[in-house]
């Protein structure tokens, strides 16, 4: 099934919903980084959060970066997303292996670690980016974003992020949603929605049963005047280029560049987000050095 994100409202706009199926996107990220199952689950939840939050940006120039830096073996995850639902991610240690947690699930919280910070950095094209941060609550990621929206953006929110890893390490199902109560929504409505969200099966179960994202939302918000506003196709996409890598090489400073040149060796730079290799011959390093003078 194709990945899809939908934006919707319920109860006359009192409830705002962004929900998506991200199986292919997460599979791509997991393959690029050669993730173990627990690393796939953690990276996949962050990528899904990224693509969902990215769609809240107003223009294509805006960028949102999400960072979760716990003290666990994963050693941090960073994802960057745009308004067109494209996203890329980097995981400190994709080879982390842990026993299942006490619920028999992949131990994402243990692998992320609970001693650390979740950052949401929005570059809106202004002089300074907006930086929101909250202490990590459980490291399970969805709870951490729910806490972030409620504590830092004062928007009571329910967040669900799920990744189901198959035996062959491919991604069987991935997706999630962010459900937010708008100012003025009554508390009873919030209670009803919280109750429904607790009652439904995990989103990855619904996705692997073949339900579309619209069907999943109709199921959750049955009788609540659900209105689907629009849809987008999420995608794992890196915006690196040779030109950007050249700029990065120049920015490391003349002395370091001179040392690389003096070594008489070629240089290979690998993009952290997509593993694209950029080769520079010794002559090309020399040219960059000349240009940086």
Residue 236 lies near Zn ion (rule: CB under 5 A): no
* Pair of tokens at residue 154: 């004062």
Residues in the chain: 293
* Residue 117, beta-bridge partner list: 69, 135
In angstroms, give the least distance from the CB of 152 to Zn ion: 29
Residue 57 lies near Zn ion (rule: CB under 5 A): no
Residue 274 lies near Zn ion (rule: CB under 5 A): yes
What is the DSSP pairing of strand 171-181 with strand 267-270? unpaired
Residue 32 lies near Zn ion (rule: CB under 5 A): no
In angstroms, give the least distance from the CB of 111 to Zn ion: 24
Stretch that binds Zn ion, among 3-11, 56-64, 70-78, 271-279 (CB under 5 A): 271-279
Residue 271 lies near Zn ion (rule: CB under 5 A): yes
Rounded CA gap, 142 and 44, in Å? 11
* Residue 87, beta-bridge partner list: 81, 236
73: number of Cβ within 10 Å: 17
Stretch that binds Zn ion, among 179-187, 195-203, 238-246, 257-265 (CB under 5 A): 238-246
Residue 148 lies near Zn ion (rule: CB under 5 A): no
Stretch that binds Zn ion, among 68-76, 136-144, 149-157, 276-284 (CB under 5 A): 276-284
Specify the DSSP element, H or E, that contains 58: none
Rounded CA gap, 129 and 120, in Å? 10
Report the Cα–Cα distance between both ends of the chain, in Å, rounded.
52
**Among residues 105 and 242, whose Cβ is nearest to Zn ion?**
242
**Among residues 77 and 134, whose Cβ is nearest to Zn ion?**
77
Residue 240 lies near Zn ion (rule: CB under 5 A): yes
In angstroms, give the least distance from the CB of 79 to Zn ion: 13
Rounded CA gap, 175 and 45, in Å? 8
Stretch that binds Zn ion, among 133-141, 157-165, 194-202, 231-239 (CB under 5 A): 231-239
Q: Is the dihedral of CA 86, 91, 97, 98 positive or negative?
A: negative
124, 189, 238, 250: residue in contact with Zn ion (rule CB under 5 A): 238
Q: Which positions lie near Zn ion, rule CB under 5 A?
A: 238, 240, 271, 273-274, 276
């Amino acid at each position: 099934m194709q990945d899809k994100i939908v934006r919707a409202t319920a109860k006359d706009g009192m409830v705002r919903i962004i929900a998506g199926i991200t199986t292919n996107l997460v599979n791509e990220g997991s393959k690029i980084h050669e993730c173990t199952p627990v690393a796939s689950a953690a990276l996949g939840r962050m990528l899904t959060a990224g693509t969902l939050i990215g769609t809240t940006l107003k223009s294509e120039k805006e960028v949102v970066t999400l960072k979760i830096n716990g003290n666990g073996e994963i050693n941090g995850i960073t994802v960057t997303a745009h308004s067109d639902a494209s996203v890329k991610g980097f995981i400190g240690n994709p080879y982390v292996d842990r026993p299942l947690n006490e619920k028999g699930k992949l131990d994402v919280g243990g692998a992320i670690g609970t001693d650390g910070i979740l950052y949401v950095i929005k570059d809106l094209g202004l002089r300074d980016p907006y930086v929101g941060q909250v202490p990590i609550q459980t490291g399970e990621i969805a709870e951490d974003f729910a806490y972030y929206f409620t504590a830092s953006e004062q928007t009571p929110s329910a967040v669900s992020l799920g990744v189901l890893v198959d035996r062959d390490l491919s991604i069987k199902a991935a997706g999630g949603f962010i459900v937010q109560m708008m100012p003025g929504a009554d508390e009873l409505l919030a209670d009803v929605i919280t109750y429904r969200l607790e009652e439904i099966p995990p989103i990855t179960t619904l996705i692997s049963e073949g339900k579309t994202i619209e069907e999943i939302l109709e199921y959750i918000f049955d009788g609540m005047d659900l209105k689907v506003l629009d849809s987008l196709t999420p995608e794992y996409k890196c915006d690196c280029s040779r030109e950007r890598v050249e700029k990065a090489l120049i920015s490391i400073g003349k002395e370091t560049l001179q040392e690389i040149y003096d070594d008489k060796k070629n240089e290979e730079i690998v993009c952290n987000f997509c593993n694209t290799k950029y080769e520079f011959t010794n002559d090309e390093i020399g040219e960059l050095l000349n240009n940086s003078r």
